[in-house]
């Protein structure tokens, strides 16, 4: 007998199934039929919750974006408190993008001409910049975040392949990202010189 779920439980189960499909098979595998089959729910049931497959994709983007943004903000907070190194922040961000399939999701919505579905990710990144910028901090954290996000998206899509093509370890992308962030922020690796580049 199929377990009875509350509407909230049914929606959460559907999104969890969609996230699993994204990681395992990619965005093209996320349909109302495939998600319904995973959780034992009908097509009509999922239509009730999401309205359409586009609605499901939008809800998935929103949930992943919020989770990844919270992870990034937390990592940067630990860095600012001196509890972790910048390289660790970069590693965690790149891993979050990879493991959550954000590159796949972004590529799918862009190539399918549905850029409006990127709004949750756009809002999440904007919130990260807001959350990590303290009053009086005039460093270009917006530029640093932009660079990191773009690098993380590219890495989540083709990081392994491009590392192999250049005969480098995949982890080399972390070092490149750290150097670029330090250059943007004007903070040099030894931690001795701080300020804007050129000072």
Residues 83, 107 within the same domain: yes
| Token pair of 100 as six digits | 């959550």
Structural domain count of the chain: 2
Residues 77, 147 within the same domain: yes
Check pLDDT > 50 for residue 74.
Answer: yes
Q: Name the pLDDT band for 19 (thresholds 50, 70, 90).
A: very high
Give residue 37's pLDDT. 92
For the chain, the average pLDDT equals 83
Give residue 154's pLDDT. 92
Contact residues for 146 (Cβ-Cβ < 8 A; gap 6+): none
Residues 134, 179 within the same domain: yes
Residues 60, 32 within the same domain: no
Can you give the CATH number for the domain in which 32 is found? 1.10.10
pTM (whole model) above 0.85 = no
Residues 32, 87 within the same domain: no
State the residue range of the domain holding 25: 1-51
Check pLDDT > 80 for residue 191.
Answer: no
Residues 22, 67 within the same domain: no
Residues 142, 65 within the same domain: yes
Check pLDDT > 60 for residue 85.
Answer: yes
Residues 34, 92 within the same domain: no
Residues 78, 36 within the same domain: no
> Mean pLDDT over residues 131-142, rounded?
79
């Amino acid at each position: 007998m199929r377990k009875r779920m509350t509407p909230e439980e049914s929606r959460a189960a559907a999104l969890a199934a969609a996230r699993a499909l994204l990681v395992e098979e990619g965005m093209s595998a996320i349909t109302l039929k495939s998600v319904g089959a995973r959780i034992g729910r009908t097509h009509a049931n999922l239509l009730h919750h999401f309205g359409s497959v586009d609605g499901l994709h939008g809800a998935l983007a929103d949930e992943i974006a919020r989770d990844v943004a919270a992870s990034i903000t937390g990592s940067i907070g630990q860095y600012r408190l001196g509890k972790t190194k910048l390289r660790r922040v970069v590693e965690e961000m790149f891993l979050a993008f990879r493991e959550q399939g954000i590159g796949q999701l972004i590529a799918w919505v862009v190539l399918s001409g549905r850029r409006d579905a990127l709004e949750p990710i756009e809002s999440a990144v904007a919130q990260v910049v807001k959350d990590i910028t303290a009053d009086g901090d005039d460093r270009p954290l917006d530029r640093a975040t932009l660079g990191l996000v773009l690098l993380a998206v590219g890495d989540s899509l083709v990081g392994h392949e491009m590392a192999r093509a250049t005969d480098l370890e995949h982890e080399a992308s972390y070092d490149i990202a750290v150097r670029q962030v330090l250059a943007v922020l004007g903070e040099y690796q030894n931690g001795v010189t701080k300020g804007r580049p050129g000072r």
